[in-house]
Amino acid sequence: MKLLTCPMNGTRPLSEFVFGGEYRQAPDQLTCTDAEWAAYVHNRSGAPGDKKEWWYHSPSGTWFIAERNTLTDKVTRTYLFGQGNTTQEQGK
């Protein structure tokens, strides 16, 4: 089984984690059109590439962000939400 590194608990087999989907920034729901919202809810950036994803370490209850390439399945880094030092993943 693949290994994944929880920023709090270290490297663990994938069976200890729950996949939480791609981290996505919602459009401003006050200003966006219905079509934009529907696209946000349903559509995904399905093409392979580097993605930011939510992962959850079940035994400790830790959510974190993993940067993973969906083609190679290689994880480049993991960090707690808000601690990635990039602007894209700051919450609303």
Task: List contacts with other proteins (CB under 8 A).
Answer: 1-3, 8-9, 12-16, 18-20, 22, 26, 29, 32, 34-35, 37-48, 51, 53-54, 56-63, 70-73, 80-82, 91-92
Nearer to other proteins, 45 or 86 (CB): 45
Going from the C-alpha of 19 to that of each of 32, 35, 37, 55, the distances in angstroms are: 28, 27, 23, 5
| Distance between start and end Cα atoms, the chain | 35
Compute the residue count for the chain: 92
Nearer to other proteins, 8 or 86 (CB): 8
